[in-house]
Chain A
């Protein structure tokens, strides 16, 4: 949200600036097992936003002090490559990356069955290769796929999507233009199979009656993203 007015209409005649309808997701690509070393890995692309995630573990902690006696410790980093944005972003962690690393780790804490692996560490890393809106939701989707690819036990796959508001209209899966010039950006992520919210934020303004509407739009989007996740994981075991 920059508070600035867009130089073109963001919603006109039922269509968004890129021609999508309000409930249309951007074209999505998903792949797992793309990295050789990582125990699990995935690439998620939503429109022009692209994220690669990798999972390592459960494994021995790098430091003896970094253990919990009854569960695994999770380490998660959300990081943007310097070339992922329009203006080069310094590789040093920004306050935004620190906050997003926290909220996404907390989302993963809700799904990973950490008590099955006491005194170990589970590492998950997400790298934003190209940022065009919805990077944290693409990151959490990719992280979830990487965890499944690694066989790290989870309560269920997580899907993430951002609902926005442009020219007064609620829209699903906002891109950078809609994020920058729109009135609201609400990222949501959930363990879809159990219908539990694990990440929820709002940047912007919603009228109180718009919140329930935005949530149900998000749910429709999450169900579709979840089906894609299941398909891409299932295709790995075709012959089974």
Chain B
């Protein structure tokens, strides 16, 4: 099998991609190296720019990266921190001090006033190094507890398709439905619309993208779906 020399392409596990190139640090989970040759470890798209290889996996779990915005589900409270399901093999840690904005005093602070088990939150991954669980932060702008709207779950590997090149797909959905949409890197999407019908339509559009991510004409299909649904529900 000859090593691919094109600057972009598709690879299956075990395919040699390139030799003597640097690997983008965010791609380390999707490739492996024997001598000087880089091989794909998952079905993926790859791109070599300035002798650096970048790999986009077409399948796989969400692995947290510092800086990512994720939508988490609070699942447990353990003395000083919440455990948050971030749809990853690793459980997110949300320290009580992060939620309160100051050190936590168990005698005085009633944490259930802030967050309960079962709450969804928009959070930023603060730190993660695989030897310990990822630490979350909800103190920034547009972060915090979710109190309304709808959460849609898709495979994390499809998130780039929902966003589109330069956010093109996401903007189309937002504009065509007038909804607020926050896309978590972990495959969870928060949608808030003027009414419930529009939330359902956004969900259908996103599920369509997830299903047909690799087929042509996706943008057209999405616009058509939204228009048809709006028509059928008398929203036009």
Contact = CB atoms under 8 A, between A and B. Distances in A.
B214 A148 contact: no
A240 B61 contact: no
Contacts of A133: none
B116 to A, nearest CB: 22
Interface stretch (A55-63, A78-86, A161-169): A55-63
A230 B11 CA distance: 10
Interface in B3-48: 10, 12-15, 28-30, 32, 34, 39, 41-43, 45
Instruction: Tell me which of A60, A148, A240 has the highest count of chain B C-beta atoms within 10 A of its own C-beta.
Output: A240
Contacts of B89: 57-60, 117, 120
Contacts of B130: 117-119
A59 B61 CA distance: 8
Contact of A154 (B1, B41, B61, B90): B41
Nearest to A120: B89
Contacts of B14: 154-157, 191-194
A40 B59 contact: yes
Contacts of B43: 148, 151, 233, 236-237
Q: Is the interface of B mostly helix, strand, loop or mixed?
A: loop
A183 interface: no
B214 A238 contact: yes
Contacts of A230: 12
B78 interface: no
B79 interface: no
A239 interface: yes
B226 interface: no
A178 interface: no
Interface in A36-72: 39-40, 57-60, 69
B60 A152 contact: yes
Contacts of A154: 13-14, 41-42
Nearest to A58: B89
A40 to B, nearest CB: 7
Contact of A69 (B91, B131, B212): B131
A116 interface: yes
Contacts of B28: 116
B35 to A, nearest CB: 12
Contacts of B215: 238-239
B61 A57 contact: yes
A233 B28 CA distance: 22
Residue of A69, A120, A156 with most partner-chain B CB within 10 A: A156
Contacts of A9: none
A116 B29 contact: yes
A71 B232 CA distance: 52
B186 interface: no
B157 interface: yes
Contacts of A39: 61
Interface in B83-136: 89-91, 130-131
Contact of B12 (A120, A191, A233): A233
A142 B140 CA distance: 46
Interface string A216-238: 00000000000000100110111
Nearest to A122: B89
A177 interface: no
B64 interface: no
23 contacts: A57-B89, A120-B90, A148-B12, A151-B57, A151-B58, A152-B60, A154-B14, A154-B41, A154-B42, A155-B32, A156-B39, A157-B12, A192-B14, A193-B1, A193-B39, A233-B43, A234-B12, A236-B214, A237-B43, A239-B212, A239-B215, A240-B45, A240-B58
Top 3 closest A-B pairs, CB basis? A151-B59, A156-B14, A151-B60
Interface of A: 39-40, 57-60, 69, 113, 116-120, 148-157, 191-194, 230, 233-234, 236-240
Given A59-B61, A113-B32, A117-B89, 15 more contacts: A60-B91, A113-B41, A120-B90, A151-B43, A151-B57, A152-B42, A153-B30, A154-B13, A155-B41, A157-B12, A193-B1, A233-B43, A236-B43, A237-B10, A240-B45
